[in-house]
Amino acid sequence: MIRAMTKSEGRDITLRIAQEPAADEFLARSPLAALVGMLLDQQVPMEWAFAGPYALARRMGQDDLDAHEIAAYDPEAFTELFTAKPALHRYPGSMAKRVQQLCQFLVAQYDGEAAAVWEGAATGADLRRRLNALPGFGTQKAQIFLALLGKQFGVRPPGWREAAGAYGEEGSHRSVADITGPESLAEVRAYKQEAKQAAKAAKAAAKGK
């Protein structure tokens, strides 16, 4: 298990999301890394997505990710950081573009400080609105990240569980917000598979009517 201090709150955080000690330590201490990991959590295994920010920082030769640097990076060169083997995502080109768009938004709206997205939120609903406004963050992704902030980072503005929807429920195993080790990872993965099968069955039933 990895323990690290968050810059914004000085809390002792333990993460086991990426299932790699160095990558998890990075997520715990870097707000931007956590946001980027959530952005990459799409059509790839969760641990692969959240290990991505650490791998990206290493390829950039940095100890942390800086929104200003990424926002100003040459787009082609930045894409190469994602596409170099092993690729950082199943769709490295499109995700490189999305990460740059996210950082450009953070620079424009929050002076490049990722933590300012949640530190300035007055309520859970306000935080969900702020997250939903981020490039690449739809309603579901915003709710999952809100739940992650509340459950594992201690960011809990009034009404945060309600704003996170089902992902905010205590004791649930629906998303990355609930991953605290290999066992919970397996439970979350099983839940996702069940949900996918249920959706397919519902779609098939609808077609049969």
Residues 24, 185: contact at Cβ < 8 Å?
A: no
Domains of the chain: 2-208 (1.10.340.30)
List per-block mean pLDDT (blocks of 10 residues) for the chain, which spans 209 residues. 38 87 97 98 95 98 98 98 97 98 98 97 98 97 98 98 97 94 92 83 76
pLDDT for res 6: 41
- Predicted TM-score (pTM) of the model is 0.89
pLDDT for res 108: 98
pLDDT for res 8: 42
